[in-house]
Amino acid sequence: MSMQRTHIASIMRTGFERLQPATPIREAVARLAKRGAAAAPVIDEDGRLVGILTQKDCFRPMLGASYYDQWEGTVETFMSRNVATLPETLDFVSAAEAFLARSHRVYPVMRDVEIVGLLHRSDLFAALVELSGGAYNRPPANLADPVARKRVSRI
């Protein structure tokens, strides 16, 4: 199978945490930690992607909590805005180029204006190794979505 003809929808994770802008940051941090998530998209009341909260974004409120022994703020205060996204029909090579261009660990995957998944750099890496004829026989241990895990195992 050609890397240019393999779409990221086949390996994206569909079971992921979604946050609201008004979610208290302490709750959001706890939810990310509980799932072992690198990031979570922030969705407004109309279902639109308005940001992404990454582990890196969470360091500022966590440090504030350690210094002052209190958690303050909401997801909206700390989230990254102007989120780079990828279309679900994007091929593996173009997705790899996107990861090379930015230091992101995760990209939201879109179908028009709807977020339909998350593409993790580690999942794309595993799929590319497998397609390149590598000796990689199983998905990464952190591949939480059973549907994506099954798809990667068939590649």
pLDDT per position as a tens digit, 37-75: 999 999 999 999 999 999 999 999 999 888 888 889 999
Residue 135 pLDDT exceeds 60: no
Q: Which of 90-94, 116-120, 129-133 has the lowest mean pLDDT?
A: 129-133
Q: CA-CA distances (angstroms) from residue 145 to 12, 22, 150? A: 9, 26, 9
Residue 139 pLDDT exceeds 70: no
CA 150, 104, 38 angle in degrees (round to 5)? 60
Residue 114 pLDDT exceeds 90: yes
Taking the CA atoms of 58, 60, 64 and 66 in sequence, report the sign of the dihedral they define: positive
Asked if 58 and 42 count as a contact pair (C-beta separation under 8 A), the reply is no
Could you tell me the domains of the chain? 3-154 (3.10.580.10)
Q: How many CB atoms lie within 10 A of CB 149?
A: 16
Asked if 26 and 71 count as a contact pair (C-beta separation under 8 A), the reply is yes
Output the average pLDDT for the chain. Answer: 88
- Whole-number pLDDT of residue 98: 97
pTM: 0.80
Residue 117 pLDDT exceeds 80: yes
Residue 11 pLDDT exceeds 80: yes
Q: Give the pLDDT band of residue 86 (cuts 50, 70, 90).
A: very high
Taking the CA atoms of 77, 79, 83 and 88 in sequence, report the sign of the dihedral they define: negative
- Write phi, then psi, for 109 (nearest 5 degrees): -110, 130
CA 65, 121, 42 angle in degrees (round to 5)? 45
Residue 130 pLDDT exceeds 70: yes
Name which of 41, 55, 45 is nearest 115 in CA terms.
41
Q: Is 2 exposed, middle or buried (0-12, 13-18, 19+ CB in 10 A)?
A: exposed
Q: Which residues are 107's β-sheet partners?
A: 119
Name which of 12, 15, 13 is nearest 92 in CA terms.
12
Q: Which residues are 41's β-sheet partners?
A: 52
